[in-house]
Amino acid sequence: MDHNQETIMANFFKECSLSSPTECHQFVRDRLLHQLFSLKDDIEISPLLHQESMSYTCIAKRKAGDQISHSVVVQFRCIELDLYGNHEGSRLHGTVVPLVTFRGSHHGVYVYTSPFAAGKPYVETLIRGDSLPLENMLTTVKGLARIMAQSTNPAIADTHPPDSYVTQLASKFDKFDFKSPTTRQRVLRSLSNIRDNWNLLAKLPQALSPPDLTPFNYHVEPISGDITAVLDWNGATYQPLGRNFHFAENLFGFMTKQGWQDHPERTELEARFKDEVWDVLRSQGYAKEDLRALEYSKVLGILEYYAARVEWRNGYLEMFLEGYLRHCSWEVDLV
């Protein structure tokens, strides 16, 4: 575990009523092992390498000789999880969404377990800067597109009056000190296009949308690129399809200290994503022209996501907006 992860872990124990990882591990041994394993012999408990700021996560592993025969993730959280999204996601997608179970509380901290997720977090690929074969990248894109698009219900009319809602979003960006007038203009043009095409959004089906589908939260099989697990469905709700498609941008490029950088294969990757989404929608009886609405839904999701983060002062908000919005069809048409 690196220094940054150790700091995150130390801050969690400073803020909550638990004293240390050792106390958590002892709770697992005393209270949970009989629920998680048929035999309690040869159980090893260790911290997860990637820790979150508001939780502590460890793994309980049962050994059979030199091999790990069974592993369970145990998480201690300061804030209670909303398990609706996880249970609904598991129902829709099966074992690719590990089912989270509430195990009670310990000194006011909520305790949850889930099966250990196979594969590697996709973020590890981004951090290492690996150059993956195009076929592997296309496989990952296909998997994520289908997870995003398959969990759909019929369309529900949006009750937000378009003018007042778009004006409300615009007012949030008015508070942000843009360094680039180009990015500000992209935001304003996007809001205008959404307002003018609001009626198209009503045609889209509702999809179960995890609100934090970052590369930390989906695992891939390193050799094939297949998605093996999608984590963190806390707060997931049914929203118009496309509203969280901006998370797919992490498959088309990556952020650097200088700004957003597209993969050289972005055109092929984005085309595969759109083809897979269209394949799902076509099977549900949607027409090709309904795909027009997906761009407006995606951009609305981008603006909603970053409007809630205008307090960021490290420059990344503007760089994300610039990197994402420059690919909008109305921006490309201006070039």
Domain 3-115 in this protein, CATH class = alpha beta
pLDDT at position 335 over 70: no
DSSP 28-71: IIIIIHHHH-S--TTEEEEE-SS--TTEEEEEEEEEETTEEEEE
- Cβ neighbour number for residue 34 with a 10 Å cutoff: 11
pLDDT given at position 285 = 85
Give per-residue pLDDT as tens, 24-43. Answer: 999 999 999 999 988 767 89
Position 130 pLDDT exceeds 80: no
Is 119 in contact with 219 (CB distance < 8 Å)? Answer: yes
How many CB atoms within 10 Å of residue 135? 9
The sign of the torsion formed by the CA atoms of 323, 327, 330, 332 equals positive
Q: Provide the strand spans (E) within the chain.
A: 43-47, 55-64, 67-77, 101-106, 109-115, 120-121, 152-153, 206-209, 218-220, 227-230, 237-240, 253-256, 259-262
Question: Is 274 within 8 Å of 331 (Cβ atoms)?
Answer: no
Average the pLDDT over each of 15-19, 87-91, 292-296 and give the range with the smallest value. Answer: 15-19
| pLDDT reading at 147 higher than 60 | yes
Domain chopping of the chain, boundaries? 3-115, 120-326
Best-predicted range by mean pLDDT among 1-5, 47-51, 191-195, 201-205?
A: 191-195
Asked if 40 contacts 66 with a C-beta cutoff of 8 angstroms, the reply is: no
Q: Round to whole Å and give the CA distance between 107 and 102.
A: 15
Rg for the chain, CA atoms, rounded: 22
Residue 213 has what pLDDT? 95
Q: What is the arithmetic mean of pLDDT over 247-260?
A: 94
Give the model confidence (pLDDT) of 215-230 as tens digits: 989 999 988 999 999 9
What does the pLDDT read at residue 128?
66
Q: How confident is the model at residue 314 (pLDDT cuts 50, 70, 90)?
A: confident
Please name the residues in contact with 298: beta carbons below 8 A apart, sequence gap of 6 or more. Answer: 242, 243, 245, 246
pLDDT digits (tens, 9 = 90+) for 191-201: 999 999 998 88
**Model confidence at 159, in pLDDT bands (50, 70, 90)?**
low
| Res. 262 pLDDT band, cuts 50 70 90 | very high
Q: Which amino acid is at 30?
A: D
pLDDT of 156: 67
pTM: 0.89
Q: Residue 246 contacts by C-beta under 8 Å, 6 or more apart in sequence? A: 298, 301, 302, 305, 324
257: Cα within 13 Å, side-chain hemisphere: 0
Task: Please answer whether residues 74 and 26 qualify as being in contact, where contact means their C-beta atoms are separated by less than 8 angstroms.
Answer: no
Amino acid at 304: E
CB 155 within 8 A of CB 203: yes
Tell me which of 3.40.50.1360, 2.60.40.10, 3.40.50.2300, 3.90.1200.10 is the CATH number of domain 120-326.
3.90.1200.10
Q: Which of 203, 170, 207, 227 is nearest to 88 (CA)?
A: 207
Tell me, what amino acid is at 236?
A
Cβ(117)–Cβ(50) under 8 Å? no
For residue 49, pLDDT beyond 70: yes
User: What token pair was written down for 84?
Assistant: 């609706």
